[in-house]
């Protein structure tokens, strides 16, 4: 992301806010939800990172043994997690009702909205991680040479200090560990390094997954009568999603909106028409339709191998390890390939949020 510093700053602001700033969910819950989300796509990189952070903010190491070891309230998120990850169009008002009416284990509406944002954020981030072919082997305790802090400080960026070196060798783990020095978390030790590393290494993604055969299936036209197609003219981010999420989870709407705007305005060799084709194609395979768009442009502007790559990264990123990057993208500059992966990530993020927020809206008006 460092090749697109304006977007990176926007991304880090959002990530820092949902993982570390004020909100209804305790910090260990936030990282455990992130683990659950990343595990659905077998994304070792993010599962390991959030497992480490989960322990560092005081999470119970026993929860990392399996999903069954987590509190019942967290386990209740399992169904909506897998639906949003693989077939978001199935997200229904009944899923929201189940979580909000679960007796002693029920979620508040504010808690659920933050949880949904974390799930969608991490699902889409899995797409970016896999699309960029991030190697999980160096994840655990990434440090700069001589054990010094990296020149790039994600915490500074998240707080508006733009005088940072975005082209340093900082990793996503630096961003996740961006806890202010003044925070009590920075001086808290829960396990020694050896025990922590052992727990993280054993945080196998499959431990946090139920129903492993549940995966992406084609959303075809013949299913439109069975599943309610989400038409942007009826429920859009700008007219509906933004205001709802911002009302239920203060300020997150502005942060997410800034991400969507940032990725749309990134400098690129790609034409605006091609970028729109990528965005609308991702939404198309996830069951979202734009009545004012000519989908013939998708086939005109996107080569077949590029379409295959985009669909794979967006819909089943855990399988992209065996998918060859198209020659047209492999030959492009790193910033251009990253740009495509950023478009995929943000389009998927918005799609999941739209389905979840639509279901919440339906619950609220019934």
> Annotated catalytic sites, by residue?
43
DSSP-derived secondary structure for 299-364: HHHS-HHHHHHHHHHHH-GGGGGGSPPPHHHHTS-HHHHHHHHHHHHHHHHHHHHHHHHHHHHHHH
Q: Across-strand partners of 288?
A: 230
Distance CA 95, CA 363 (A): 9
**Kind and range of the H or E element at 261?**
helix 252-264
Secondary structure, 3-state, 196-259: HHHHHHCCCHHHHCCCCCCCCCCCCHHHCCCCCCEECCCCCHHHHHHHHHHHHCCCHHHHHHHH
Q: Are 64 and 199 in contact (CB under 8 A)?
A: yes
Distance set, CA 133 to CA 48, 136, 209, 305, 329 (Å): 16, 9, 22, 17, 13
Q: Are 343 and 275 in contact (CB under 8 A)?
A: yes
Distance set, CA 344 to CA 111, 196, 218, 244, 263 (Å): 27, 33, 17, 24, 10
Tokens at 271, concatenated: 């034409």
For the CA atoms of 87, 90, 96, 102, the dihedral, rounded to the nearest 10 degrees, stands at -80
Tokens at 209, concatenated: 């997954």
Q: Across-strand partners of 230?
A: 288
């Amino acid at each position: 992301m460092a090749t697109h510093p304006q977007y990176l700053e926007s991304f880090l602001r959002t990530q820092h806010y949902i993982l570390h700033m004020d909100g209804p969910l305790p910090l260990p819950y936030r990282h455990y939800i992130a683990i659950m989300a990343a595990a659905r796509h077998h994304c070792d990189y993010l599962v390991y990172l959030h497992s480490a952070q989960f322990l560092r903010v005081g999470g119970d190491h026993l929860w990392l043994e399996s999903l069954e070891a987590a509190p019942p309230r967290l386990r209740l998120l399992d169904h909506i997690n897998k639906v949003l990850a693989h077939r978001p169009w199935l997200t229904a008002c009944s899923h929201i009702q189940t979580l909000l009416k679960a007796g002693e284990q029920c979620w508040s509406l504010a808690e659920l909205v933050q949880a949904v944002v974390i799930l969608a954020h991490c699902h889409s981030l899995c797409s970016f991680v896999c699309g960029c072919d991030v190697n999980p082997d160096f994840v655990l305790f990434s440090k700069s040479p001589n054990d010094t802090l990296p020149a790039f400080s994600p915490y500074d960026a998240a707080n508006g200090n733009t005088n940072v070196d975005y082209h340093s060798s900082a990793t996503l783990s630096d961003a996740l560990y961006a806890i202010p020095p003044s925070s009590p978390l920075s001086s808290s030790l829960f396990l020694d390094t050896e025990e922590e590393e052992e727990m993280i290494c054993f945080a196998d993604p499959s431990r946090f997954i139920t129903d492993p055969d549940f995966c992406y299936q084609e959303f075809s036209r013949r299913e439109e009568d069975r599943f309610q197609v989400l038409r942007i003219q009826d429920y859009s981010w700008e007219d509906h999603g933004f205001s709802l999420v911002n009302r239920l989870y203060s300020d997150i709407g502005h942060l997410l909106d800034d991400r969507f705007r940032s990725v749309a305005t990134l400098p690129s060799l790609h034409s605006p028409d091609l970028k729109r084709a990528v965005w609308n194609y991702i939404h198309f395979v996830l069951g979202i339709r734009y009545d004012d768009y000519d989908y013939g442009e998708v086939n005109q502007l996107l080569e077949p191998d590029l379409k295959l790559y985009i669909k794979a990264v967006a819909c089943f990123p855990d399988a992209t390890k065996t998918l060859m990057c198209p020659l047209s993208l492999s030959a492009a500059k790193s910033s251009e390939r990253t740009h495509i992966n950023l478009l995929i990530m943000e389009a998927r993020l918005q799609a999941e949020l739209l389905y979840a927020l639509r279901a919440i809206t339906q619950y609220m008006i019934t």
